[in-house]
A and B are shown apart, each in its own frame.
Chain A
Amino acid sequence: MKFISEFREGALGSGLVRRIERLSRPIRIMEVCGGHTHVICRYGIRDLLPPDIQLIHGPGCPVCVIPQHEIEKAIELSTRPGILLCCFGDVMRVPTRRGTLFSLARGRGSVKMVYSPLEAIEMAAALPDKEIVFFAIGFETTAPSTALALKRASSQGLANFKVLSTHFIIPPALRVLVKDSSSRIGAFIAPGHVTTIIGPDAYCFLADEYNRPVVVTGFEPLDLLQAIMLILQQAAEGKPRVENQYTRAVRVQGNRRALEAMDEVFEIRPAIWRGLGLIPGTGLGIAPAFAPWDAEKAWDLSQVEPAPEPPGCLCGDVLKGVSQPKDCSLFAVSCTPDSPVGPCMVSPEGACAAHYRYRGA
């Protein structure tokens, strides 16, 4: 068992597709996570489905939902003397009014790509004369790693390590989306890896209060087909509930250690999502006990003002499932992965990038 090839078996897929055809009914299903968007485009899963079933993309691409001015705050920090900004590769290519983090990495050398916050911690220990700022992005999947890095900085007394946090949490954003009449979401494919941390019960309100089927789903093509089938089955029975398709990775209780670390290090605050606007209870700021490592406390960034969306870019509507990438007049014309206009064309988890990459597939 390698947990990959077994879940890509074509013959099993056609059986699932036949079941889906039998249960088919008009429904709009949102896949929340950009990882799922990527798999759906890569394997042409929409083309396998009856036309009644519409898959719509959600906001679960971390790089896509960060407001432009939050990235500009990171850029601002990286231009200040003595600061080295560490960030993940994806976010480096998002265009802003002040260029990209990537251009600063090449130009001033004050930005460095890392794969993990632990690399930033190691840098802080090795370069005591520099201020190392980790630009922390992502959902519940990456927030625990930032939490553990902060705990390490605190236990090692690393005063020259700071975190600029734009972590988001998913469930309250889904409440906003399910209530949004323009998105018209009939059911949710819930993000498998976020749920390894928070546990499936975090979505019960979608079934209990809004009558929407929810299936926590793995990332192989057969997982997605089975999830769609389970959603259709729930809809046919008229009994919406939260089901866990990804039992090989997701435990009922989530990941207790990760949740405890997040609880200790972060405090919940409102957050602005690109496309969705301000949503209470979806941001993770740094708790007072960890204030010495909070970049927003260490430096005044209030002069960085919110930015308008790039003219013509429909990312906001794409992230709500209201528009598809092809509805954007810039798609594949002036906006391509090599020269992206909006964030949805930057990250491989962005809907525009996934559609572009697999457009002939």
Chain B
Amino acid sequence: MCLAIPAKVISVEPGGLAMIEIEGVRHKASVELVPEAEVGSYVIVHAGFAISVLDQEEAQGTLKLFQEMAEMAAETPHVGDIG
């Protein structure tokens, strides 16, 4: 139940329902808990309810951090590498 993966919002219908797509398969889900969800948003869905809308900018920021850390690791020599 906690293996929820990002789902794309395809359409939002009246009554707090949305059509979402996960790995090419469409499902119905409630967006009552995330009123900010719109068509094109990625959401995390648990038990038929979207519980969070994924933030593009934050995701880019995390990826950039990964990149920086990888670069930093490549630059600084490992203690064990010296001598």
Residues on A close to B: CB < 8 A? 1-4, 6-7, 9, 11-12, 14-16, 18-19, 21-22, 33-35, 38, 60-63, 88, 90, 115-119, 138-139, 141-142, 144-146, 148, 191, 193-194, 196-197, 218-219, 222-223, 226, 229, 245, 247-251, 255, 257-258, 261, 348-349
Contact = CB atoms under 8 A, between A and B. Distances in A.
B48 A16 contact: no
Given A19-B73, A22-B79, A258-B33, A88 B1 contact: yes
Given A15-B70, A145-B49, A34 B58 contact: no
A350 B78 CA distance: 37
Main secondary structure of the interface of A (DSSP, over half): helix
Contacts of A6: 59, 63
Contacts of A9: 66
Contacts of B35: 257
A355 to B, nearest CB: 16
Interface string B50-83: 0110111011111101110111111010110000
B60 to A, nearest CB: 7
Given A119-B48, A257-B32, A16 B2 contact: no
Given A15-B73, A15-B74, A255-B34, A141 B60 contact: no
9 contacts: A3-B6, A16-B66, A115-B27, A117-B48, A138-B46, A145-B48, A193-B4, A193-B44, A249-B55
Contact of A38 (B3, B72, B73): B3
B79 A141 contact: no
A88 B47 contact: yes
Main secondary structure of the interface of B (DSSP, over half): mixed
Contact of A62 (B1, B52, B56): B1
A248 B59 contact: yes
Nearest to A137: B1
B52 to A, nearest CB: 4
Contacts of B63: 6-7, 12
Contacts of B1: 62-63, 88, 90, 138, 141-142, 349
Interface residues of B, number: 42
Contacts of B54: 3, 248-249
Given A248-B56, A249-B52, 16 more contacts: A2-B42, A3-B59, A12-B70, A15-B71, A18-B70, A35-B4, A138-B1, A146-B47, A193-B2, A193-B46, A193-B52, A194-B2, A247-B61, A249-B54, A255-B51, A261-B33
A258 B66 contact: no
Given A88-B1, A349-B3, A196 B61 contact: no
Nearest to B63: A6
B3 A14 contact: no
- Top-3 shortest CB links A-B: A15-B70, A116-B48, A35-B2
A8 to B, nearest CB: 11
Nearest to B6: A3
Contacts of B32: 148, 257
A35 B48 CA distance: 17
Given A4-B5, A148-B30, A250 B52 contact: yes
Contacts of B49: 116, 144-145, 148
Q: Which of B55, B59, B63, B79 has the most CB of A within 10 A?
A: B59
Nearest to A144: B33
